[in-house]
Amino acid sequence: MNIAVVGTGAFGLKHLDALANIDDVEVTCVVGSNMKSAQEVADKYKIASATDNYNEMLKRKDIDAVILVTPTQMHAQQTIDALEAGKHVQVEIPLADNWVDAQRVAKVQRSTGLIAMVGHTRRFNPSHQYLHQKFVKKEISIQQMDVQTYFFRRTNMNALGKPRSWTDHLLWHHSAHTIDLFQYQTGEKIVKVNAIQGPKNPDLGIAMDMSIQLKTETGKICTLSLSFNNDGPLGTFFRYICDNGTYIARYDDLVNGNEEKIDVSKVAISVNGIELQDREFVSSILESREPNASVASVLSTYEIMDQIQSQLEY
pLDDT at 159 over 90: no
pLDDT at 194 over 70: yes
State whether 181 and 145 are in the same domain: yes
State whether 8 and 38 are in the same domain: yes
**Domain count along the chain:** 2
CATH number at residue 50: 3.40.50.720
State whether 262 and 303 are in the same domain: yes
Note the pLDDT of residue 105: 98
Mean pLDDT of 34-55: 97
Confidence band for 157, pLDDT divided at 50, 70 and 90: confident
Tell me which residue range forms the domain holding 165.
122-268+299-313
State whether 132 and 261 are in the same domain: yes
State whether 101 and 185 are in the same domain: no
State whether 60 and 104 are in the same domain: yes
User: Who has greater pLDDT, 79 or 158?
Assistant: 79
State whether 86 and 28 are in the same domain: yes
Give the β-pairing of 245-250 and 235-242: antiparallel
Note the pLDDT of residue 314: 65
- Which residues lie across from 65 on neighbouring strands? 3, 88
pLDDT, tens digit, for every residue of 90-103? 999 999 999 999 99
State whether 71 and 219 are in the same domain: no
Q: Which of 44-58, 129-143, 152-166, 178-192 is predicted least confidently?
A: 152-166
State whether 176 and 33 are in the same domain: no
CATH number at residue 193: 3.30.360.10
State whether 284 and 184 are in the same domain: no
Mean pLDDT of 55-60: 98
pLDDT at 23 over 70: yes
pLDDT, tens digit, for every residue of 107-116? 999 999 999 9
State whether 256 and 126 are in the same domain: yes
d(CA 105, CA 82): 11
State whether 258 and 282 are in the same domain: no
